[in-house]
Structure 1
């Protein structure tokens, strides 16, 4: 059934449709006096830069643009130019990262529409417009309907890593007016390759093919689905710069936020692009120094284990921290879709999670057998170079009934259950596939209990597990949320009691899910038992003494990761109306610390004085064919490639930090570092867009 907000978006899309640029402009949300669009521009010939001249049918009050620089002299015609990271495209690609919010007088009748777009001097809009399809004027009834619409709120829910060894222009705007959108819960159409967008004015959305390999040697291709549900769609494909210049600027976004959250979300997703392993899609690889790698990753019986993400600055693929990171990332997409969609990044975020879930499904080769690691830690850490150039042996290790791992199986079940929710309204077949594997892995974890790092000693040197009771409760809670099957809820309650999860943990991390269990159960049940535990946890973090510059310090190893994860949990608690102002302020302070409040950014390629030398092998390598080896590692020069969006480990308890490639404690990056950080930024962006908190 189409919701009121969804109906308003469709109605408004029809009011601004019928113009010559409907083939390019997709209205994704609207409100009285404005609307949001995503642009889809086919690239006919190779380009290294671009300019767009966008003309409107009548005057705007302002235009807020992302993924482009914007200038205007008359508020009718606007000139957009590429940023440093999205100017290079090959023929046949789609430029889909640029979008804007158009603001105009709420009494405008008809509303301003895009009348022409010149892309590098060529008109890319349709050339003929029938008089019968011109924009309809806004009637009194429609105006009343738009004025009474409210913003559709997202659902309110809710790691110390042992030894492992650019300037880009942000979004420009000509207004400071906050965006108060009338937005239905965004939906997307997603593939592992090029994102396809269907206009929200359509009454039928064709779902794309999604191909996965759930078991050895077999490929399951889901058939195209259709749906009559109309949902706004936001897409983006961003390309980073090939320059070695580091970012030094941050600017206003039109929202009253101190930092450009849209830019942060965009660049965090670029970090995950840089971590991808396997065969990279030709039309969806925005990292110029990355290409296919580790194509011979197989299991002990030749099972296909290509794909997934490299864990950190090295090239190991480690299932436990990866699954944890993807559970949090999926959680943020489920609960804060507006944070992503308002940044034009919802589909990219969904694709980021899918790149992991495709791999996790591959690694689950039998109901009770799961590959949790690819690569030998010693061999991997004896190599410094490009993943594309690796030649060492990459053995794979698994858990089974003979050598179980309830923590690994349980966390992966949670990740796939959460991912099934991300895709429930996008592709029901893929969602069901994720859920099937989640249920099997949960049953495996529940029936055969042990710590994975005992069964897989190869992982113990990197991510040893302290216990598995929290993952059992965590996975049960996520399966209950995904299925509404009360059996899983009862299991979660039983595990919560059995493993003493009512305590006040020191952290929320890849190893410790207790705080996450508490806030998720509070959301699912509204039970004071869980709400009290959540309040105790977040109150203790609010009251904990901070470093001299304000960091909530938990551990030297990945200090910023810990602060960001706690920020995410407490933002979830705030959504449940548990001390919302105090918890949101805590979260904002910790995220802003990472973004620059100390006078420097800890996010590569973002803000003032960002890290130049993260401990990250592939971005430390010069362009081919130059050699990349341990001499590169020892160089004191900045990394030749900009690892956009990577959150480094961070400072010590006295705010001391040195940008040193050799220091993997404070300067390495990792998939789990960015997950809670990105989720927290998406939450803060969502709150700002809705005018709830800033």
Structure 2
């Protein structure tokens, strides 16, 4: 089984490389998790900023934003463009990275079976290399490059960007415990992913994770008060969850009980035992509860983790076709993140009903892959979205010009943004596949984070059942 999946994976990549306009044909089984896992990682590659490697697999992408600089000239090139535009938001990039790393730690066999472990490491490292660049000194971290308002004066290829790209930082006078904490969590989790593969890089990530957590804990504040523009797009309403989240990942990476004790302190002090309704970049409480339950096996934490999944599975609002409905922005991301957390619960002793949680996760991911009547993953399955709100993929092949007329054109994007999960349908299962309707067709690096890891969790179940 492992060899078959790996060979299929290699064949798909070879076909895409040979013919960039190749359209991945729909298949009978809408739960071909290995193939969608591969495509989801291709989406991250399409979002890369900076100097691209020679083995870049996205033929319509090239080097871009090479001159991104900090206030003192620091090199801030690299990382990921957040969505269909060209701002690099550190908070959501870090959140997606932590979820990707968590999936890699939990279900490596799935990535091996799909032939995607190396690609997953590359996807994670592209982000963490950037975070390390942004951490220019112990208590200074750049959390955003580019400005949304400036960015939206331009519609064209990232390789042809002509806007000013200001950089924004947090420091002791302008702290951001949430941003520093989430980045610390991402780096600590990544250090675990690379521990046996590249020990030197693992140590480097861990060093920066420790420093960023110390920064987050010592100088308290919300990052969107230090970086005001961020609040319009990725507001943070608290930082206690990120402090606990970072401390738990540092404990997992170091086994130093100091971090665990601090995590428990944050859990009590910031009242993180209450049942959350969601799990995403602004609310890490469900993840904190899950990690505490997994680490300790204590009844208090197990009950908290179970309460979240039981509520999500049995009581949370659904669309008529069964999709978990939490918010109109990132509808599918919210559902995928909950599916991922509940797959973690299913794999953990003493947290609820594993069969019920796994069935729920399968239902949610099946909806996204076509069970609802259409696929919501670009370039895959039945009637996938063809007009994502994504500037680069809306541009025709060079040397044809690309400009604002591409936004309004009622035609499929010339470039297929393989693997991107769109924001998704409304509460009535209605979906508008129009570029300008970004509420439905937006794509972001965060949307694919929990989705990718949920795919891995479901694929792992299949691998285990065969072996």
* Structure 1 position 240, deviation (Å): 7.4
> Equivalent residue for 2:314?
543
Q: Which runs of 4+ in 1 moved over 2 A?
A: 62-65, 238-241, 245-248
Q: For residues 457 and 288 of structure 2, what CA distance do their matches in structure 1 show?
A: 19
* Structure 1 position 627, deviation (Å): 1.0
Counterpart selection for 2:419 from 629, 645, 662:
645
Q: For residues 586 and 363 of structure 1, what CA distance do their matches in structure 2 show?
A: 39
Counterpart selection for 1:314 from 61, 85, 106:
85
> Equivalent residue for 1:335?
106
1:363 equivalenced with 2:141 (yes/no): no
Is contact 2:5–2:115 with CA below 8 Å preserved after alignment? no
Map 1:140-179; keep pairs closer than 5 Å: none
Is contact 1:247–1:610 with CA below 8 Å preserved after alignment? no
> Equivalent residue for 1:447?
218
Which structure is higher in strand share?
A: 1
Give 1 or 2 for the bigger CA radius of gyration.
Answer: 1
> Equivalent residue for 1:86?
14
Q: For residues 118 and 364 of structure 2, what CA distance do their matches in structure 1 show?
A: 27
Question: Which runs of 5 or more residues in structure 2 are unaligned?
Answer: none
> Equivalent residue for 2:262?
491
| Bigger shift: residues 302-311 or 569-578 | 569-578
Counterpart selection for 2:379 from 605, 614, 617:
605
Q: For residues 343 and 240 of structure 1, what CA distance do their matches in structure 2 show?
A: 21
1:626 equivalenced with 2:400 (yes/no): yes
Counterpart selection for 2:446 from 672, 675, 688:
672
> Equivalent residue for 1:580?
354
Deviation sequence 1:106-162 (CA, Å, 0-9, x none)? xxxxxxxxxxxxxxxxxxxxxxxxxxxxxxxxxxxxxxxxxxxxxxxxxxxxxxxxx
Q: For residues 6 and 145 of structure 2, what CA distance do their matches in structure 1 show?
A: 45
> Equivalent residue for 1:222?
none
> Equivalent residue for 1:239?
17
Residue 419 of structure 2 aligns to a residue whose secondary structure is coil
> Equivalent residue for 1:136?
none
Q: For residues 287 and 369 of structure 2, what CA distance do their matches in structure 1 show?
A: 24
Q: For residues 368 and 240 of structure 1, what CA distance do their matches in structure 2 show?
A: 47
> Equivalent residue for 2:33?
261
> Equivalent residue for 1:348?
119
Question: Which runs of 5 or more residues in structure 1 are unaligned?
Answer: 1-34, 38-61, 69-81, 88-237, 253-257
TM-score by length of 2: 0.97
Q: For residues 498 and 596 of structure 1, what CA distance do their matches in structure 2 show?
A: 43
> Equivalent residue for 2:27?
250
Residue 267 of structure 1 aligns to a residue whose secondary structure is helix
Map 1:206-605; keep pairs closer than 5 Å: 239=17, 241-243=19-21, 246-251=23-28, 258-282=30-54, 284-544=55-315, 545-577=317-349, 578=351, 579-605=353-379
Counterpart selection for 1:614 from 376, 384, 388:
388
Is contact 2:376–2:384 with CA below 8 Å preserved after alignment? yes
Residue 373 of structure 1 aligns to a residue whose secondary structure is strand
Deviation sequence 1:531-570 (CA, Å, 0-9, x none)? 1001000000111242110100000001000000000000
Is contact 2:340–2:451 with CA below 8 Å preserved after alignment? yes
Is contact 1:614–1:659 with CA below 8 Å preserved after alignment? yes
Is contact 2:224–2:235 with CA below 8 Å preserved after alignment? yes
Which structure is higher in helix share?
A: 2
> In structure 2, do the counterparts of structure 1 residues 63 and 371 end up closer, same or farther at CA, with 3 Å as the change threshold?
closer
Q: For residues 251 and 410 of structure 1, what CA distance do their matches in structure 2 show?
A: 43
> In structure 2, do the counterparts of structure 1 residues 64 and 364 end up closer, same or farther at CA, with 3 Å as the change threshold?
closer
Residue 195 of structure 2 aligns to a residue whose secondary structure is coil
Q: For residues 489 and 368 of structure 1, what CA distance do their matches in structure 2 show?
A: 23
Q: For residues 240 and 594 of structure 1, what CA distance do their matches in structure 2 show?
A: 28
* Structure 1 position 582, deviation (Å): 0.5
Q: For residues 375 and 656 of structure 1, what CA distance do their matches in structure 2 show?
A: 33
Residue 671 of structure 1 aligns to a residue whose secondary structure is coil
> In structure 2, do the counterparts of structure 1 residues 570 and 36 end up closer, same or farther at CA, with 3 Å as the change threshold?
closer
Residue 314 of structure 1 aligns to a residue whose secondary structure is coil
